[in-house]
Structure 1
Amino acid sequence: MTHHHNKKFTRKTLARLIRSASTLSFAVGALGFGNSVYAQEGAGIEEIIVSGQRGSVQSAQLLKQNAEQIVDSIVSDDIGKLPDRSITEAIQRISGVTIERFISIGDPEHFSAEGSGVAVRGMRHVRSELNGRDSFSASGGRSLSFEDVPAELMAGVDVYKNPSADMIEGGLGGTVNLRTKMPLELDGQKIGLSASANYGDFIEETKPSFSALYSNRWDTNAGEMGILLDVAYSDLATRTDGIFNRAMFARTDIVEGQKMWLPKGADWRTMEYQRERLGTYGAFQWRPSDTTEVYLTAFRSSYDMQWNEDAIFVNNDPWTLGSDNAVFENGVFRSGRLYDTANDGMSYGADIRASTRESKTTDFSGGVKWQASDKWSFSTDLQYTKSTTDSLDSTVATAIDLPYLDLDLTGRMPKITSDASYLADPGNYYWAFTMPHIEESEAEQIAFRIDGEYTIEDSFLRSIKFGARATDRTADNIDTAYNWQGIYQPWMKGWKLDPDQPLPKIQESEYHLLNLNQYPNFFKGKGNMNGVVWAPSLDLALGYPKSFQDLHGAASPNYICCDDFTLRDKNDPDWSNRQEENTYAVHAVARFGFADLAKPIDGNIGVRVVRTEMTADGFLVYPDFTLNQAEEKPFNAPSEFLSAENSYTNVLPSLNLRMQLRDDVFLRFAASQAISRPDFSQLKSFRNLEASFRDGQNAESNIPASEVRLSSTAKNPYLKPIEADQFDVSAEWYFDDKGGMIYGTLFHKSLTGIIRDSVVRETYNGWDYNVTRPENVGSAKINGFELGYNQFFDMLPAPWDGLGLQVNYTYIDSSTNIPDAADADNEGATRSAVDTDGTPFPGKQPYEGLSKNAYNIIGMYEKGPVSVRLAWSWRSEYLMAIGANGYDGDNGGVNESNGTYYRLPIWSDDSGQLDGSIFYNINDNFSLGLEVNNITNSETRTIMKQIGAGDRYASFFVNDTRYALTLRANF
């Protein structure tokens, strides 16, 4: 048997396979699985073997070259072997795709080792599909949490940058399609097994993972049949340490007659993360004849996660801090001792925060494909999807009043020093607060699709495709919100606590409820902090609700009034919300081609019309709040049922053109209109009214009711989708069929209806509230380009002829037009960035999550039994949020004396990570390999930007270098 490559035969044969397949998704199964293609010529058999990384790159190249849309792909180069350990890590290698290294973009204080949210061309409004069908997680959004899905189940992942009208609407940034394998795409019986030991060098734990696949096909009297069964399990443990600088505040009482910037302080924390992920997939295919196919698939993914965070954090009033020996540079604090001039000490909190999440997504799909004649073909597809997510975010905190804090900001990271013996004495701590948050979500969807296509011969019009799709989706959500409840707080003195007595300290009989955090090997030995911290035990956080009730109950005898602890029962209908959404879509697509032109042109033009109808039911919840004196109009009242209806119709045209300049050079143009519906979490019919005392006020102040701060957090079931006009122009040169190509793409997106929080004044029960709710208020323009280059260097002398290289680069620029919100009594109404002294930031901030520059460099080597891969991904700084938690006036930044309210922009700094793998094929059936993530022990940083105090690092994170020793077997 002869092994060789035939360029012309390989390209034409594989292209024909793709074009003749009913969908691009299923065509790739034959290309990607094992990456071998077999062909016959005449009486002899000619075998063309393309395997490993080389085969994966070639398959992805063919997908891009032959697709009607602009698409980039990652293809598995073996059974259960995407090139990275998770789907998010794999698709970040695609040009235009970036991932978050935080649990969410709006939470810059919690790092995520595996990466989380996926953005395409800077847009997080990304549709997720499983084999071309809708897929989602029941977490309030519309997309699948890609970290929930085992990468081992995938045959490949396609990222569509600009859609055609027959694609499901909703991918404003793009559409990510996860492809599984189908049994009739495989050659006979296939068995694949893998097992890994995963080790994190920071947490110093080893966890297992495994996967198994069985597939077979048979010719029977009833036709050709095939089954495929696939299961994958993985366990992971990581640790992340963080150090935090806090905001600077302009003070005129530190140095007489001068404006000096003094920090609120600095703090640190450590987080341990554990997750288990189990995925199962089964498929059945039956071809009773050459013209008919029936298929059934079942998919289930389970994700169980828990992270525990031990933190000591700044809790003091920035306006009462003093310093006698501070060193300033251009009016900005550089080093010195901080202390509190008005209280018993600098208030610091020490908490244990436990966050758990259990998610399950189940998908059952089935359909029929029928080639009715040479010209007519039809297909139908019925899908049922159910997803559930249950989460508990539980925080319990102690607090301590530090006599001082020595802070040195002259180095790259802050050096934090305090009285170590004072920190080590549990008798100096008091119980501070509890804060639980329960969320339980369940979503179900039934989707039905029917398509038909009429093929036309001897005409520039190649075919007309038409179809309809209908969905019925329900979403039930229980969300108790973050229920902060103070136990002992300094501001309770004179009201809830005796003003002449110190805050009650933790008693020796309660020491068993504490845990001594010694922070061993903190920041991998590079952290500049001292002291141990007594914080609540993990059992207290996980023991909710009884442990919380016990803590508050033990404190109640020390109160002189107002034992107002309330426990939010998740079964209380006040915290429930139900939504139902129905969509009805029709589409028509005309495919055309002008083969007789000097430069042949083909493509498609079409339109998709979709109607969306939704209802939302929930509650208006009044505050549980009273004053000592009689009130003419009480704040509290029975909850009220809220119901809302919303509907809209969108017409979405699209055009995709391809011009063939040469056999191997193509130009493309794509134009389309797209929408992204609001997340279900934004569409709730829910309004929670809140009443609270302003700073310095309490129940004993005999203040008039009109002086109580009244606010509300609400959602908006009347939101409309974000809309975009988008254009792409690309040039592609496929200079060899062994994975060699160069491409460049220019793109533009014009967005309208961007959703941001607004603050409006509304009256409830006779009282005026400042209500914060999302609204369609802004627009943006996004422009950029992508460049890419792939090649295997077969022309080099041995052994260097096994080298290969993939490089891509993305540039994105944006401008936003988001009008500022109306000021509502300095209650944070502004959407703009505001410094801590009340100075607005000039100009408009860019679109969140959008790095101007990003690139990937992937080096490959494949020769004989050895396969090596090194992948470096880098992205420039990007705006995470304006006024995220901890960087806005809600965290002690409101100065009641001058009304200052601040919202600081927080940026993620430039970041890069190097990952790699080396595999050795022991024989035709077995391979052994080592995979490593975060080889260079990269440090992730955020940047806090201020006008008066300048820019500086806000936080620093380090996490594990992760190793996976893997054994694979294929039969």
Structure 2
Amino acid sequence: MIIKYKKLSAAIAAYTSLMAMSATTFAQEAVSEEKKKDAAQLEEVQVTGMRQSLETSVAIKKNTMEIVDSITAEDIGKLPDPNVAETLTRIPGVQGYRYGGEGASPFGEGSGLTIRGLSGQTASRVDGRAYFTAGGREFNIEGAIPGMIAGVDVYKNPSAEHIEGGIGGLVNVKTRKPLDFDERTFNVAVSNRYNDLSEGNSPEFFGLYADRWQTDFGEMGLMIAGNYQESHNRSDSDPVFARGPQLRRAISADSAEYADLVTAGEVDAAYLGRSDISYLTEANYADYSEEERANLITALGQTKQAFQEDINRVRKGANVAFEWRPSDTLELYATANYNYYLYDQEYRFMVFGSGIGGDSRYVQDLSTVDYTFDESFMNRNSNGGANELVAGQRLASGTFLGVSGLETWGGHEDHPYETWNTAFGGEWQATEKLDVKFDVSYIQATQEADNRKVAFVPRSGVTWDVTRNLMSEPHDLAISGPSLSDPSNFVLNYFDNNRNQKWEDDGWATQVDFKYQMDLPLIEDIKFGARYATQSASYRNFFHWGKRLTTDGERLAEDQSNAISADSLAGMLDVSPTNWLDGRAGYSGGYVVYDPLELEGNRVRNLFPQAGIPLDGEQEEHLLDRRYSEEDSLAAYFVADFAYGDIIKGNAGVRVVQTDLYARAMIVDPNDEIVPNEEGTSYIDVLPSLNVTGYIDEDTLVRFGYAKGISRPSLSALNPVVRVDPQTGAGSVGNPDLRPFEADSFDVSLEKYFSGANYVSLGVFYKDIDGFHNSERTCRSISAFPTHESPDNGCPANQYSVSRTINAEKGMARGVELAFQTFFDYDFLPEALNNFGVSGSYTILDTENPVKMNDEIVEMPMPFQSDTSWSLSGMYEDDFMSARVVYTYRSEFANNNDAWPSWGVYTEGYGILDASMNFNITEDLALSMNASNLTNEAPDRYAGDPRDYDSNFLLQHFVNGRVFGAGLRYSF
């Protein structure tokens, strides 16, 4: 497709976003002096659309001195992704997660991204500025709107000129600028997505206006853009609450032992003599011989719940940017960005409780299979000695009779994030050799989380028989008995507002940068600068729970004499969908719950005044949870760019950062008063970096990179809280003196570039990490509590035995990254293949995370790190249409690291298939169609850990559904 560059913006606008369908994309944006040269060259490229976006990304990768992978906005628009987090998983070394139909963390909050195996260790930047979501140090990129973004760069090993803060890597989100546009541009788009599980529609609207003009005062440009996006998805699952050994011993109802228990009044006499009924009693394996343990049963994974969640997301964004070039040597700008992200969850849960109390102890047609459950899997053989058998049987199936221990929950979580960012600055060419840049920015961020639910329990005497098959995936479930959808079978139990939290953060930053061209044989130029930044963060907690929904506001009586029947709540009830887990589990839903939408505001309080529910907005704050911090940082850097002809290029530099922290927590003093506890700390980090690129020829590069980086502790980890018990002389304290993780990172890569977007690269990396957190117990005096009453806490008189988190251990991350991309436009191939292409990436990762378990240090993988991940994409583009199919896979990974593997959780490997097509109906009008998760896959969770204790105990099976979308975009 050949058009002149002056029409570039209009041509690119003809391509519609494939999932978010919101991005008009513009490939050229300079993010550093080096990239300005690249952009000038790219303006001469006479192709548009998908291929140009890929060529732009490849040019950035090739010409940047650091280890970087880039995605331009057109590339985001050409991938079937509703959020940027999913797009980034196409980059080697970046692994993601999908929760509720979109890219998010396994907890439903946050991006869920890991770079090079290091979860939560990513620095987030917007246009090179530090950017954060309230309550943390990173930007929740899940909330970013693709339509508001010009591109994303992922730096794997940042140099000294970049703001410090992430040992995993740095993600820089680039926004559009008005002078990037060649002419006045209007762009509007409308689209819709449909989830086949939730059967919900998700509209999106996007608009952009940009113009530039010449005045007597120089050239000016203005851009205004806005975006509104809804996302209505669903997540069905069957989680297990009770983990660990869950040991049982079966007693047949026709045995003498059962008869003795009947005589003692400990079991139901109605089952006496029945050979098809077994009674499951809890068992302690230490009480049995090795031979007897062979008949013990592990019921791990038994008590599955029924969870159905409607996950609604809203993204709203606005961007205003003004640029002014009074002369060829001076450019000034001012920008304002607004980002709103709402995570809204309506949930309907049927909960059978936990452990043996969740189901009946009486099981009909009990079936078990042989299984070796040993001490190693139970607790890493922490008892020492031989690895003894714990249980020789695994519960396979059975019908649990007379189950009454279930609840149904109707709940609603409202979780909005709001972020404002303003900035002004400029670039000035002071002399032919000296360039000066300055930038001043302010960010204000808030976050709230409000989770509330109402629980129903069965009416007295109502029971069900529950049949479970633990050998199928998902586990088969059948429930027989009174109708679960009939509210007359249930009574109200309680109201919880168990999550009601508020975060308020803000920060200022001022930065000045200088670049001076040198007339030296090896040194091309030097760059130096300074930055001062401050971030304040506050947290408050207002949760309350256990508000009894009974006639007298007291706990539900055993005889339910004070019960309120659920069928008295006309208009306040809901029934869960009847296609739960897409029908894969036998039972398909249809249980009654309190309507999640009726939980908002004061509706429950007004309906049940006797429950003592506080007025919404006037809930009592839990003062001991309140915390506040201020963190100031002052940094200076120096970088020298060097070259030896056309053979070697690179840079070497150092960044020095001083960090000052003030932290305040609330504690209880000896007079039982809540008072503030204030502490401060200060430290300096010296962060050198070196990047060298060797040119075997113009298009064959060998790179070496070294950088020392840091990741500061989370703000909550620095809270100087003090919790001690004067009765026992024990307690715990926070540690505001925690230091950042430090990583010495090494990279070596070989890259070969062909024509246009075609390239292949192979890289290896190693990170030596110091400062991992572990707990220690020490004796220390607590000024707020000078004495205690315990004579034998193991410490000197009046000192407390306290635990706290410290920097203690070393770990590492290492890996191999392969990436390739090509269109089949080589001279030796048939011309019919020229419009087809393929791209892919493959990553191998290995990490060591030292974790204290059973008083020993155990080397574990980093949470959420897969050993392998890969993506493969097929592409097609001509003048009329473009298409892409992308498959992304990651291997199993640990969700947590537990001292007892039987309590651990890992996610099995899974792959996602996405596809999209775009049609240029006219030069100004484009149609897009896309599909996400075509194979309807979701990440299932198992007991254990993926390295040493890879079990087949399924803990939670997920179904999220497929998403299909279509949209129109018009540009003029």
Q: Give yes or no for TM over 0.5.
A: yes
Instruction: Give 1:145-160 correspondences, 5 Å limit.
Output: 145-160=140-155
Query: Cα RMSD over matched residues?
Result: 3.7
Which of 598, 602, 610 lines up with 1:553 in the alignment? Answer: 610
1:430/1:504 contact within 8 Å kept: no
Question: Residue 969 of structure 2 corresponds to which residue in structure 1?
Answer: 968
SS of the residue corresponding to residue 347 of structure 1 reads: coil
1:29/1:185 contact within 8 Å kept: no
1:310/1:353 contact within 8 Å kept: yes
Corresponding position: 1:676 with 2:711: yes
Equivalent-residue separation in structure 1 for 2:719 and 2:103 (angstroms): 20
Instruction: Give 1:303-702 correspondences, 5 Å limit.
Output: 303-318=341-356, 321-323=361-363, 325-330=365-370, 331-338=393-400, 345-400=403-458, 402-421=463-482, 423-436=484-497, 437-480=499-542, 483-485=544-546, 487=548, 501=559, 505-507=563-565, 510-512=568-570, 515-529=573-587, 532-539=590-597, 541-543=599-601, 547=604, 553-554=610-611, 569=619, 571=621, 573-595=623-645, 600-620=647-667, 637-686=672-721
Question: Residue 726 of structure 1 corresponds to which residue in structure 2?
Answer: 745
Which of 205, 223, 230 lines up with 1:228 in the alignment? Answer: 223
Equivalent-residue separation in structure 2 for 1:476 and 1:649 (angstroms): 24
Shift of 1:411: 1.8
Instruction: Give 1:769-784 correspondences, 5 Å limit.
Output: 774-784=805-815
Which consecutive unaligned segments of at least 5 residues does structure 1 have? 6-16, 39-47, 490-494, 557-563, 623-632, 692-704, 823-829, 833-842, 889-900
Question: Residue 943 of structure 1 corresponds to which residue in structure 2?
Answer: 942
Question: Residue 135 of structure 1 corresponds to which residue in structure 2?
Answer: 131
Equivalent-residue separation in structure 1 for 2:29 and 2:185 (angstroms): 25
Equivalent-residue separation in structure 1 for 2:838 and 2:224 (angstroms): 34
Question: Residue 176 of structure 1 corresponds to which residue in structure 2?
Answer: 171
Write the letter of the residue equivalent to 1:791: T
Equivalent-residue separation in structure 1 for 2:932 and 2:970 (angstroms): 23
What CA deviation, in whole Å up to 9, does each residue of 1:267-324 have, x standing for no partner?
1111001122111112222222221111111111111231111111231443783535
C-alpha change, 1:497 and 1:102, in structure 2 (3 Å) is closer
Equivalent-residue separation in structure 2 for 1:226 and 1:927 (angstroms): 26
SS of the residue corresponding to residue 172 of structure 1 reads: coil
Question: Residue 735 of structure 1 corresponds to which residue in structure 2?
Answer: 754
Shift of 1:457: 2.2
Write the letter of the residue equivalent to 1:858: S
1:777/1:819 contact within 8 Å kept: no
SS of the residue corresponding to residue 319 of structure 2 reads: strand
C-alpha change, 1:551 and 1:906, in structure 2 (3 Å) is farther
Instruction: Give 1:847-866 correspondences, 5 Å limit.
Output: 847-866=862-881
Write the letter of the residue equivalent to 1:966: G
SS of the residue corresponding to residue 882 of structure 1 reads: coil
Shift of 1:821: 6.3
Q: How many residues align?
A: 859
Greater displacement, 216-225 / 324-333: 216-225
SS of the residue corresponding to residue 765 of structure 2 reads: strand
Shift of 1:939: 3.0
Write the letter of the residue equivalent to 1:958: V
Shift of 1:621: 5.4
Instruction: Give 1:106-121 correspondences, 5 Å limit.
Output: 116-121=111-116
Question: Residue 57 of structure 2 corresponds to which residue in structure 1?
Answer: 60
SS of the residue corresponding to residue 62 of structure 1 reads: helix
SS of the residue corresponding to residue 147 of structure 1 reads: helix
Write the letter of the residue equivalent to 1:936: T
Corresponding position: 1:37 with 2:43: yes
1:540/1:548 contact within 8 Å kept: no
Write the letter of the residue equivalent to 2:649: D
Shift of 1:779: 2.7
Equivalent-residue separation in structure 2 for 1:454 and 1:168 (angstroms): 20
Equivalent-residue separation in structure 2 for 1:183 and 1:109 (angstroms): 38
Greater displacement, 568-577 / 269-278: 568-577
What CA deviation, in whole Å up to 9, does each residue of 1:577-607 have, x standing for no partner?
22111000011111111117xxx11111111
Equivalent-residue separation in structure 1 for 2:731 and 2:398 (angstroms): 40
C-alpha change, 1:282 and 1:64, in structure 2 (3 Å) is same
Shift of 1:515: 2.5
C-alpha change, 1:532 and 1:420, in structure 2 (3 Å) is farther
Question: Residue 957 of structure 2 corresponds to which residue in structure 1?
Answer: 956
Equivalent-residue separation in structure 2 for 1:20 and 1:684 (angstroms): 40
Equivalent-residue separation in structure 1 for 2:457 and 2:137 (angstroms): 39
Equivalent-residue separation in structure 2 for 1:106 and 1:195 (angstroms): 22
Greater displacement, 654-663 / 902-911: 902-911
C-alpha change, 1:20 and 1:620, in structure 2 (3 Å) is closer
C-alpha change, 1:394 and 1:882, in structure 2 (3 Å) is farther
Question: Residue 261 of structure 1 corresponds to which residue in structure 2?
Answer: 298
2:537/2:630 contact within 8 Å kept: yes
Equivalent-residue separation in structure 1 for 2:326 and 2:91 (angstroms): 39
C-alpha change, 1:79 and 1:127, in structure 2 (3 Å) is closer
1:297/1:366 contact within 8 Å kept: yes
Write the letter of the residue equivalent to 1:969: Y
SS of the residue corresponding to residue 58 of structure 2 reads: helix
1:101/1:116 contact within 8 Å kept: no
Corresponding position: 1:283 with 2:283: no
What CA deviation, in whole Å up to 9, does each residue of 1:526-569 have, x standing for no partner?
2322664232232553246x73696583599xxxxxxx999993
Equivalent-residue separation in structure 1 for 2:139 and 2:95 (angstroms): 16
Equivalent-residue separation in structure 2 for 1:339 and 1:713 (angstroms): 45
C-alpha change, 1:470 and 1:518, in structure 2 (3 Å) is closer
Write the letter of the residue equivalent to 1:609: V
Which of 824, 828, 832 lines up with 1:793 in the alignment? Answer: 824
C-alpha change, 1:298 and 1:26, in structure 2 (3 Å) is farther
Shift of 1:903: 6.6
1:782/1:813 contact within 8 Å kept: yes
Equivalent-residue separation in structure 1 for 2:894 and 2:118 (angstroms): 13
What CA deviation, in whole Å up to 9, does each residue of 1:629-681 have, x standing for no partner?
xxxx9xx9332322121221111111101000111100000011110011223
2:193/2:203 contact within 8 Å kept: yes
C-alpha change, 1:106 and 1:862, in structure 2 (3 Å) is closer
Question: Residue 868 of structure 1 corresponds to which residue in structure 2?
Answer: 883
Greater displacement, 202-211 / 419-428: 419-428
Write the letter of the residue equivalent to 2:218: G
Equivalent-residue separation in structure 2 for 1:809 and 1:472 (angstroms): 39
Equivalent-residue separation in structure 2 for 1:356 and 1:58 (angstroms): 42
What percentage of residue pairs aligned between the two structures are identical?
Answer: 27
TM-score (norm 1): 0.81
Equivalent-residue separation in structure 1 for 2:112 and 2:954 (angstroms): 23
Shift of 1:107: 11
C-alpha change, 1:637 and 1:364, in structure 2 (3 Å) is same
Equivalent-residue separation in structure 2 for 1:96 and 1:855 (angstroms): 9
C-alpha change, 1:530 and 1:463, in structure 2 (3 Å) is closer
2:86/2:103 contact within 8 Å kept: no
Question: Residue 905 of structure 1 corresponds to which residue in structure 2?
Answer: 904
1:418/1:530 contact within 8 Å kept: no
Equivalent-residue separation in structure 1 for 2:825 and 2:99 (angstroms): 40
Shift of 1:211: 1.5
